[in-house]
Amino acid sequence: VRLFNEIQDKSREIEVANRHKSEFLASMSHELRTPLNAILGITQVLQVESKLLKRDDQAEPLKRMLGAGNHLLTLINDILDLSKIEAGHMDLQPEAVAVAPLLDELRSNLEPLVAKNGNALAVSRAPDVVSVYADPVRLRQALLNVGSNASKFTDKGTITVAVDHDEADGRRRVRFRVSDTGIGMTPEQLTRLFQDFVQADTSTARKYGGTGLGLAITRRLCNMMGGDITVESEPGVGSTFTIRLPARAEDFPFTSPPPEKSADEARSLS
Amino acid sequence: MKIMYVEDNEDNVYVLQRWFSIVGFELIVARDGEQAVTMAAQALPDLILMDQSLPGIDGWEAARRIKASAITRHIPVIALTANAMSGDREKALAAGCDDFDTKPVDIERWREKIRAHAKPIGSTAGPGKD
């Protein structure tokens, strides 16, 4: 019994230490952004100046500085989000979100990304899907994340966003399916997909950029909103990510917390 | 073209000073919300770029006051916020702002916003004729 108590005390200590670590990371990330934003801003001004002065030799290094800086900024933002979630500081405010304007906004946010790789974008909604019960900010983030992933890994193909309903255990859920005709993933790659800092392949980061945190964050956000995210994929054919979220407040599954980090996440919902 | 920038971060002010001096725009800077309201009425800029997190009264309140005054209500106000996804667009429009964008400084995007809102329309030097 004494041993058991000791183990319990130790695990509590570890939990507290872990929370402190997450809080530290969250405040650090914020502090890191301010000077980085200054660097990015000044680099942009230099870019404008070098164009004006026809200093073509400076175009490439400035582009690389901005590219690397923006990558670093994405990393910091992702770490900030993840540590907020881990520390239980991610406050979600679910409400009835109108789906049609949400999709309009998603389309205009995705269009420049999709165009970059010569992809086409098709967005459709089943007429009976009017609203979804979710935190509007985090829902946008989740959809944008999955959508930008799709266009990143697809070249001269099609990205499809299709929204409809499904029903399980008497709960009505809105289903956002984001499909691409891109490079796809093998079953082994799929198993590692939603883990922190893991992309399908270690060479992926070099070739496609990104932090490898986006899907881990998206999965946590979907779980916290009472839904989930799943993926189907075939190498060389494409991938489909499906996000399912409660259609109405009464469809919110308070009784079945997500499998991981349930204590933290339940707390942050209250 | 005279543009007022409401911002308390020195580095951001520096970036806009340098950028606007290249494209030939006059820049005036207010460091907090109160100053923004006073300066807008005195200097009557062609456009206002307004950061939202400011010491004293915040950017929302400053925008509301600028839009409530008969002297300054015609001046386009573009709200700038730290987070793209936090429902700030609605908040900006509710405060009477004409448009909304996000920080950090994004010259390409901000240039388009300034072009779209700044008058006089006949002005030849648009920002970023680079």
Task: Please give the average per-residue pLDDT across A41-62, as a whole number.
Answer: 94
Residues 28-47 of A with CB under 8 A from B: 33-35, 37-38, 40-42, 44-45, 47
Q: Is A270 on the interface with B (CB under 8 A)?
A: no
Length of chain A: 270
- B109–chain A Cβ distance below 8 A for any pair: no
CB contact under 8 A, B11 and A44: no
The most confident of A13-22, A43-52, A250-259, B96-105, by mean pLDDT = A43-52
The percent of residues in chain B predicted with pLDDT above 70, rounded, is 87
pTM of the model as a whole: 0.69
Contact B107 A44 (CB under 8 A): yes
Pairwise CA distance, residues B33 & B39, whole Å: 10
For B10, the closest chain A residue by CA position comes to: A38
Query: Could you tell me which chain B residue has the CA closest to the CA of A135?
Result: B86
- A108 part of contact set with chain B, CB < 8 Å: no
C-alpha separations of A240 from A126, A151, A195, A232 in Å: 18, 12, 18, 5
Residues of B in contact with A34 (CB under 8 A): 9, 11
Query: Counting one residue from A and one from B, how many pairs have CB atoms under 8 Å apart?
Result: 57
Read off the tokens for A122. 């098709």
User: CB-CB: which of B22, B87, B108 is closest to A49?
Assistant: B22
Kind of pairing, strands B47-51 and A228-234?
unpaired
Of the residues B16, B18, B83, B89, the best mutation for testing chain A's interface (the one with the most A CB atoms within 10 Å of its CB) is: B18
Confidence of residue A72 (pLDDT cuts 50, 70, 90): confident
- Tell me: the pLDDT tens digits for A123-178? 999 999 999 999 988 999 899 999 988 998 899 999 999 999 988 878 899 999 99
Q: How confident is the model at residue A65 (pLDDT cuts 50, 70, 90)?
A: very high
Residues 43-82 of B with CB under 8 A from A: none
The dihedrals phi and psi of A171, each to the nearest 5 degrees, come to -105, 135
Residues of A in contact with B103 (CB under 8 A): 37
Asked if A52's CB is within 8 angstroms of B11's CB, the reply is no
Query: What number is the average pLDDT over the span A214-238?
Result: 91
Lookup: tokens for A245: 């979220």
A134, A97 Cβ separation under 8 angstroms = yes
Q: Do A48 and B22 touch (CB under 8 A)?
A: yes
Question: How far is residue B4 from each of residues A132, B28, B65, B106, B121, measured CA to CA in Å?
Answer: 40, 5, 15, 17, 17
Q: Which span out of A160-164, A168-172, A189-193, B116-120 was modeled with the highest average pLDDT?
A: A160-164
